[in-house]
Amino acid sequence: MTNNQSLEIAMQQQEAERFFDRQCASGYDQVQARLSPLRNALHLLIEAMLSDMPSVGRVLCVGAGTGWELIRLAERHPRWTFTAVEPSAPMLEVCQRKAEEHGISSRCVFHGGYLNSLREAEPFDVATSLLVSQFILDRGDRTDFFREIGERLRIGGRLINADLAADTESPEYASLLEVWWHAMRTSDVPPEGVERMKAAYGRDVAVLPPDEVKRLMVSGGFEPPVQFLQTGLIHAWFTRRTTQDPSERSSNN
């Protein structure tokens, strides 16, 4: 790795830790536990959609955070292996510690950084990206993000993506957003935590209409996604890497 590459990775990690610093990482699971009904519905359907996968598989967890989906899938599929990609060092430390506590760390690779710094490896069968791409504000960069995931998957490999999404111009949006904040409050998220969420939501999250998120995935090299869940603002889709190169598809449209 060159000095310039090392510097770029360090800068990316600093940016990630602006959102997910050590304090956030240490309390992240406690906050998420209060929102477990939302999370559990998502994971239940993810497990159902992957239930027909072979007993041996390779899974790429992009923006793995503290490792919720990694640990749940690893416990249910004892012969799957996992690569956790997470730019925030404090979050990745929690993920790695939890994997060790659950006895699955030997089946995991922990990569501190982004996809562009992940070494080339055998293609993955599945990729997960849960509440990650919403932090990419530029649409072109978001398309590139999905393209980078697709390049790491085998042909026909599956992507499960979840993001906050909504048509912010619709008449219903204000009411939906208010319900979302009420859900945070009634889930015992502390008032200061809700205020931090609101600040980050308005500044650091690109909430796009669901159809727009689907178009970005298609532009990144995936088949038209199927939405399988909505819980409040969270939307989730599954799709597969297309057999056609994204640049070829763009030229044919």
pLDDT in tens, 82-130: 999 999 888 899 999 999 999 999 999 999 999 999 988 899 999 999 9
With a CB cutoff of 8 Å and minimum separation 6, the contacts of 65 are 20, 28, 86, 88, 91, 95, 130
The domains of the chain are located at 3-240
Helix or strand or coil: residue 61? strand
Distances from the Cα of 240 to the Cα of 48, 122, 136, 219, 250, angstroms:
16, 17, 21, 13, 17
Give which of 241, 242, 240, 238 is closest to 48, Cα–Cα.
238
Helix or strand or coil: residue 148? helix
| pLDDT cut 90: percent of the chain above it | 66
Given a cut of 80, is residue 214 above it in pLDDT?
yes
Question: pLDDT value at position 152?
Answer: 97
- Kindly state the average pLDDT of the residues 141-152: 97
What's the whole-model pTM score?
A: 0.84
Amino acid identity for residue 221 in this structure: G
Given a cut of 70, is residue 15 above it in pLDDT?
no
CATH class of residue range 3-240: alpha beta
